[in-house]
Amino acid sequence: MEDAARSAGSFELDDKSLSILKIELTQIIKGGFEPDAHRVLEHLFDGIWEWINSPGNKYDIEEYERHINIWSGRKIIDKLKGLNITAHVYEAEFIPAYKTVSQHAESVRRESENIMIDDELEGSQPEVRVHRQECLSNNSLSIVQGIFMVFGFLFRKDRDYVQDYRMALMKRKEKGNELNVAHSKKSAKSTQDSLWSYKISFWCLNPGIIFQDMCAETRSVILTSGTLSPMETFASELETDFPNGAHLRGVYSNIESFRYQDDVGEAISQIVETVPFGILCFLPSYNALDKLMQRWTLTGTLEHIKRKKFVFLEPRGSDKKKFERVINAFYDQIDELVDCSDDEKDGAIFFAVYRGKVSEGVDFSDAYCRAVIALGLPYPGLKDIEVSLKKEYNDLKQRTQHHGGVMNGRDWYATQAYRAMNQALGRCIRHKNDWGAIILLEDRFQESEHIKGLSKWIRNRVHIHESFNEGISSLKEFVDHRLSIEQQSIIPNSDMPTNNQTITQQATIDVSAIKNEDMSDYCFTSCDCTNTKEDTQQVEASTTKSDFTMLDGDIREPDQENTAISLATQIERRLGLSPTISHVGFTQIKKIPQTSMTLQNQTTYDTLLDGLDAVFKDIDDDLDCEELENQASAFVSTIAETKPRKPMFCQNCRRILLTGDTSGLKHVDDFSLNCVLLLSTNSAYVLEVENPTAWEAYSVCIDLERLPNETQVYMNKADKLFYQKINCNCACLIGVIVCGAMSPERQSYVGKVFISYDAVIF
């Protein structure tokens, strides 16, 4: 296999074959068949002919019957450059000429075959035709193909194969009687020079060049032979990794082994190549994380991962500031890559541990987490005295209580692992329109008893793949499908705030209890984590530290003497505004009234409620919600504006679209415009936004001046207007904006915005 691959990547050309090729090219050019393309090849091979037959050539090895000169590495490129064969000339001149010559030869042969078939069908004798060279012969065309294959590898931009080749010029002495046959009797002199033949060779020393090129377009390559042994050289010579079929069982003994560490590293390397943006990888302990990092640093796996993703590690200890710096750096890196793609890196991967800060209180919605990788099962430390005592206690209690209801020690021990894992896996899907992949790199999840420990919304969607390659293929299909859906949707307004949840150490919030229905008029997305989480329960906000790690980083009682920065200040930071609110009052209210929830500097209901997402988003643990008293504790900014601004939400996904004065909306009775008729299905009402610039847009764009320079628009010939559809991020049609007119009398419609009443809610 190795020899066959090397031979396929090599090429040799002797002077006799080169002479025949030159003669054919001359005849074809004289016949007027694609003369320009054939002339380019003639010039190329004339240069090679003159070089190999030059009497001034010097040879490093001079034997009696053979002289050889060998070039390697960059010397090959330098020598070819002297023959005017460069990467630029190859791409700009040789490749186009070669394609034209090949197509011409194929056309001539096809026409010749058709004529022969017609003669046979008619039963007539084929006409005697005078032979004329119209295209290159098969032998000459194979010479062109061979040398162009070598040039393609030598001048390849994405890979440097120059060091894998050797170029040799050979001068070999031939027997006089063999040479005399090729000469006329008049010129058959037995001179010393006439006894030499010449050959140029390009030898491929790396079989992996051809093997990798072949494997790039194939799903599987199967090598079968009774004499393949020894197998050790195949992987290195063919530059490929053969899967060893190892089972990834993350028990303590395996985590300590190099084989497990290498296999996990290879698996994660392929996952980061497949999934863009943010990836979370959870491990059982910091000790396991350290061992993997040390091993991957030595083997180069970590460097391979860093080529595609920025790498972040969850810091040890309880240093809150250090953790905030790391998590904010992760968020910022993803935001930067979402806004502006990188030629090399397309995201970041965060390595963390089960039961750590990352797994239990931080929100990774949307691009922050497109995949969660779970390694092992996070069982509590079996040698921990408290854990051992708890297991013994449960076993004893189950034996002594006959009414049941108490799980034994073994079940309790397993439950702790599943609870920690489900908490970590819940970082991925954070709202109804979010998406991501959950990858369980653990052999034990092939067993039904372990699958039962997963959350219900995951349990019913587990797909077990027989091989890792099968799983990667499935993952790639899933990611490509989701990305294609995102690309089909309309790009939202560039002024829309990002979903970066910046951690602010100074922020302080005191929320004793806010029931979900009390926020139903405003909070539409925070509790609808995903349409796949079937067991989503109503969540009660609490003041535990873990619930607010993402939002505050510090939970304290409100201090009127030294009031910390309010949530509205966090909102301003996310919008890039300077803080202007210096004091926030804590007011006892039963329900937040609409008219009082108004903020300055483009602060809207949506951004205010985004700050509360952390209160409602953690639905991993079911909490019993108690009935509230007549009053609930909440906080509200006491800032007033001259005109009340009201939010407009998407009817489908409850995402905020606009905020503004609803008195500026006018009901449209006359559906004379066909583009407006798009919005009037089922006799729905249509609203015209009288002053679009007065509205603050977040998920859509209704200001003609803010539309991108290049955007998709539609033309309606009947209306004589150009318009753009206004779509929410969920792809739901909200309205239309008129972008241009085809006649002066229709110019008054330009800039008008029409909204479907049934597509929005207030």
Q: Would you say residue 571 lies in a domain?
A: yes
Instruction: Tell me: do 452 and 556 sit in the same domain.
Output: no
Q: Would you say residue 408 lies in a domain?
A: no
Instruction: Give the tens place of pLDDT for each residue, 101-122.
Output: 999 888 888 887 766 655 555 5
Instruction: Give the tens place of pLDDT for each residue, 558-610.
Output: 333 333 333 333 334 444 443 333 333 333 333 333 333 333 333 443 443 44
Q: Would you say residue 202 lies in a domain?
A: yes
Yes or no: say if 493 and 697 are a contact pair by the CB < 8 Å rule. Answer: yes
Give Cα separations from 632 to 78, 111, 255, 627, 648 (angstroms).
81, 88, 50, 11, 26
219 pLDDT above the threshold of 50: yes
Instruction: Tell me: do 186 and 300 sit in the same domain.
Output: no
- β strands within 151-289, DSSP E: 165-173, 196-204, 277-283
Q: Give the domain-ending residue among 214, 241, 263.
A: 214
Cα 280 from chain centre: 15
Q: How high is the pLDDT of residue 160?
A: 81
Amino acid identity of residue 114, one-letter, is N
Q: Would you say residue 712 lies in a domain?
A: yes
Q: Are strands 196-204 and 347-353 parallel, antiparallel or unpaired?
A: unpaired
| Total tally of structural domains belonging to the chain | 4
Instruction: Tell me: do 546 and 653 sit in the same domain.
Output: no
Cβ-in-10-Å burial (0-12, 13-18, 19+) of 77 comes to middle
Instruction: Tell me: do 620 and 535 sit in the same domain.
Output: yes
Radius of gyration of the chain (CA): 37
Q: Structural domain of residue 25, as residue ranges?
A: 2-214
Distance between CA atoms of residues 369 and 653, nearest Å: 20
CATH of the domain at 327: 3.40.50.300
Q: Above pLDDT 70, what percent of the chain?
A: 69
DSSP state of 140: H
The model carries a pTM of 0.40
Return all residues near 742 (Cβ < 8 A) that are at least 6 apart.
715, 720, 721, 722
Higher pLDDT, 1 or 60: 60
Instruction: Tell me: do 325 and 442 sit in the same domain.
Output: yes
Q: Would you say residue 121 lies in a domain?
A: yes
Bridge partners for 281 per DSSP: 351, 373
Amino acid identity of residue 159, one-letter, is R
| φ, ψ dihedrals at 552, nearest 5° | -110, -50
Q: How high is the pLDDT of residue 246?
A: 62
Q: How high is the pLDDT of residue 280?
A: 92
Q: How high is the pLDDT of residue 365?
A: 82
Instruction: Tell me: do 325 and 291 sit in the same domain.
Output: yes
Distance between CA atoms of residues 206 and 210, nearest Å: 8
Instruction: Tell me: do 184 and 303 sit in the same domain.
Output: no
Q: Above pLDDT 90, what percent of the chain?
A: 9
Yes or no: say if 495 and 398 are a contact pair by the CB < 8 Å rule. Answer: no
* Average pLDDT along the chain: 72
Return all residues near 593 (Cβ < 8 A) that are at least 6 apart.
none
Instruction: Give the tens place of pLDDT for each residue, 134-147.
Output: 888 888 899 999 99
Amino acid identity of residue 541, one-letter, is A
Q: How high is the pLDDT of residue 39?
A: 92
Yes or no: say if 759 and 734 are a contact pair by the CB < 8 Å rule. Answer: yes
Instruction: Tell me: do 694 and 615 sit in the same domain.
Output: no
Q: How high is the pLDDT of residue 100?
A: 92
Instruction: Tell me: do 624 and 692 sit in the same domain.
Output: no
Instruction: Tell me: do 452 and 555 sit in the same domain.
Output: no
Yes or no: say if 349 and 305 are a contact pair by the CB < 8 Å rule. Answer: yes
Instruction: Give the tens place of pLDDT for each residue, 605-646.
Output: 344 344 434 433 444 443 333 333 333 333 333 333 445 678
Residue (of 756, 677, 669) closest to 718 by Cα position: 677
Bridge partners for 12 per DSSP: 201
Instruction: Tell me: do 667 and 620 sit in the same domain.
Output: no
510 pLDDT above the threshold of 60: no
Alpha-helix residue ranges (DSSP H) falling in 185-339? 208-215, 232-237, 252-255, 258-274, 286-299, 301-308, 320-339
Q: Give the domain-ending residue among 641, 668, 695.
A: 641
Alpha-helix residue ranges (DSSP H) falling in 401-467? 409-425, 448-451, 456-459
Q: Give the domain-ending residue among 577, 611, 641.
A: 641
Higher pLDDT, 237 or 585: 237
Bridge partners for 66 per DSSP: 172
Q: Would you say residue 496 lies in a domain?
A: no
Q: Would you say residue 493 lies in a domain?
A: no
Instruction: Tell me: do 712 and 609 sit in the same domain.
Output: no
Distance between CA atoms of residues 707 and 179, nearest Å: 78
Instruction: Give the tens place of pLDDT for each residue, 40-83.
Output: 999 999 999 989 888 888 888 877 778 888 998 889 999 898 88
Q: Which residue has the tokens 């090959």?
A: 76
Q: Would you say residue 391 lies in a domain?
A: no
Q: Which of 115-119, 390-394, 439-443 has the lowest mean pLDDT?
A: 115-119
